[in-house]
Amino acid sequence: MKKLIFIICCFIPFMMFAQEELYQTTRDEFNYGEFRPNNSAPIYGIAEKPGKLMGNIYLDSIFRSSAVVFFKEIVKRYDPNASDSIAGYKLRINLLEKLVEFKMNGGIKGVDNKAIKKIQTFDPAGNTLKTYINGQSLGIDSVGEDHFYDLVYDGLFVKVVSLSVLKKKEPTYHVALSMGDKNAYYYLKTTYFAKIENGKWSEIQNNKNTWLDLTGSREKVMSSYLQQNQLNLKLTSDLRQFFQYFDKIMVE
């Protein structure tokens, strides 16, 4: 009897050790392994919020008072004698759908970009805010592109326009790591184009050296003017001032 009790006492620590080891193994499998009593049953967790599509799809999201010039061939389809222009409507340009949205009494009316030659928008005081010209009319766009270019400067010797194209930044979220941004974002990428007198349009990098190169033999004079007036050519107002002076010295 004493011998039996001795054997049992020796076996109990071994059983406890074995049970603890099995218990830890089960925990590890449950936490990190493939512990799943029913292989067809899902493992539940807290549902993650889906990402959103953020950003603006308009050149200007505000409906602005406007004056619009249509391509004549478009107007002639309806009335050969009708005017090719309208004014007084509020509009905005939808870059995603390539539509000009007119605010009407009964809602919003969309007109394809390809029907419109030129748009001017105005502030409440009647001052011109922007002038947009169809790329077909400028001779920059190929058939079917139908972008609107912002007229930055329209001078005697140089013309400058900019094109803002809608781009989308995709989500960076990594499911396995639970890291990154779930949202996608619309943003505008702007490119500049310029031409000297009757030359062809060329794409321009928006930096000081490239704009100075465009002035040709007047580059040294324009560089001095730039430094004296501390102009930042990435600002539209300063870029206009820069080329206004260039036009001035070209006629002297």
Query: What is the pLDDT, as a whole number, of residue 2?
Result: 47
**In whole angstroms, what is the distance from residue 220 CA to residue 72 CA?**
45
- What residues contact 235, with CB distance under 8 A and at least 6 apart? none
Q: How many CA atoms lie within 13 A of 5 on its CB side?
A: 2
Sorting pLDDT into bands at 50, 70 and 90, what band is 74?
confident
Query: Helix or strand or coil: residue 114?
Result: helix
Sketch the domain layout of the chain as residue ranges: 53-204
Query: What is the pLDDT, as a whole number, of residue 181?
Result: 83
Sign of CA dihedral 86, 92, 95, 100: negative
Query: What is the pLDDT, as a whole number, of residue 84?
Result: 92
Sole residue written with tokens 């094109």: 163
Sorting pLDDT into bands at 50, 70 and 90, what band is 183?
confident
Sorting pLDDT into bands at 50, 70 and 90, what band is 116?
very high
The pLDDT tens digits for 44-67 are 555 566 778 778 999 999 999 999
Query: What is the pLDDT, as a whole number, of residue 144?
Result: 67
The pLDDT tens digits for 77-104 are 888 888 999 999 999 999 999 999 999 9
CB of 166 closer than 8 Å to CB of 186:
yes
Q: What percent of the chain has pLDDT over 90?
A: 60
Tokens (6 digits) for 148: 């609107």
Sorting pLDDT into bands at 50, 70 and 90, what band is 26?
very low
The pLDDT tens digits for 133-160 are 999 999 897 766 889 999 999 999 999 9
Query: Helix or strand or coil: residue 149?
Result: strand
**In whole angstroms, what is the distance from residue 131 CA to residue 197 CA?**
20
Tokens (6 digits) for 9: 């006492």
Strands, E assignment, 39-115: 53-54, 64-70, 85-94, 99-104, 107-112
Q: How many residues does the chain have?
A: 252
pTM: 0.76
**In whole angstroms, what is the distance from residue 216 CA to residue 219 CA?**
6
